[in-house]
Structure 1
């Protein structure tokens, strides 16, 4: 898990909350309204770790656990050449076929399974994982030190899964527009869905169990949108095909500023009330959540 945190001089977490107790007034100080970014990158709880590996293929599970920071990950060898990031899985399981990336965008709450082949790296060398959106120390994420040669008979199959749902637009009973935008909330700044801040007692969307729907997620700035209960497929971005990293069954997708992303899903499983929200922690804490009722 990749996260970023800011720490005070005494080593405690420095969080710019309006209420230091985190129990009264919601929100953060004005410079952080778009989301809190730290200055220390953590991987599995450790700052900028170095992990020893054999000169072989490794399967890595990547989770962006940061409050608001987006990553564009790149693996760079000691000779400056990029290593392929071969994506084999998304948020909710294997892809139909592998997708090779040189740079992999990861929004808050998104997960990816990737295979990295260290066999061409020189023993003793470092492979650095960097964030092309970072600056200064936040450009570095972690490193792998290649410590020994090793026999590796592994391979990445051309077909990974044949079980992905094949929902079609024609299956959808409706298309919904869901706008994720800034607004006013209790006299201050807020983040709203459909013009409304979160109300735990209100059902914002009601669907019938088993229905297939297409949702258009419309964003003013980056909003990693996360649905509870179901996984979905990404159909389009601004009317164009999905991006390479949109493949597979997902539960989080990040429309870029001014973008409309279409997703399709079937609301099966269990009846009840579930959340959908922006996974930028400050956005959701300041109103950008809504209730989905499955009846």
Structure 2
């Protein structure tokens, strides 16, 4: 209590009439918060309502952001003040970095950072920052999203394919790393025949090590989708080999189902239809939680 009142008892804020929430505004369930929180946001509301642009308003937004970094209005107001006062936005980026260290998965901080970098039009140090955040948590999707925006907006594609492979090696089950790799390729070379074959080999190597790795299977499905899985005989052969070795992750059976159904629809040969039905029957036994889903797949084949 003393800390907040010391701040607002100073001459700097003596002309401000704070706006505290009424009992009705607090709602049926009153959220417990500190006296400092109540004071800071009461003064914040007062200055925000006036849209005051001043050093004290800027200082107040910093206090408010530290108390609740998820408050979008605080960041919006802070950006407006920074712009009007012509503040050094690089220092604000540094402030964002300190805040992100405390709350690395806070959407509002990452969004604020992105808008700052966009205004500065200078990505210097940003790839390194996202890399440091991803070293702490390989699956921080906010960091991945920011990096994806950076390389797209500033055309920083050069080393990103290598980076994605490094991150996949560190954690092959990282959906974000696989998704990032797909984004990089799709935005640069595209999936021509040569690239597709290279990516298939990379993915199959990962599946061989971790047959139940859903991330790798999702990536494989994505890169063969346009031509259809049955068009990639080497992949079908690989899957059939795993099946012969009693390796039966649901993703494998689902892939073979799609490949056999695709082949049946193209050729009309009954053996492919029967194989597709067999995959569904195996999935019904193996994955009873989704039995209605696989039963529908089986019905689709018979139809």
* Same-fold call, TM cutoff 0.5: no
> Which structure's residues are more often helix, by fraction?
2
> Which structure's residues are more often strand, by fraction?
1
TM-score interval (norm. to shorter): under 0.3
Q: TM-score, normalised on structure 1?
A: 0.21
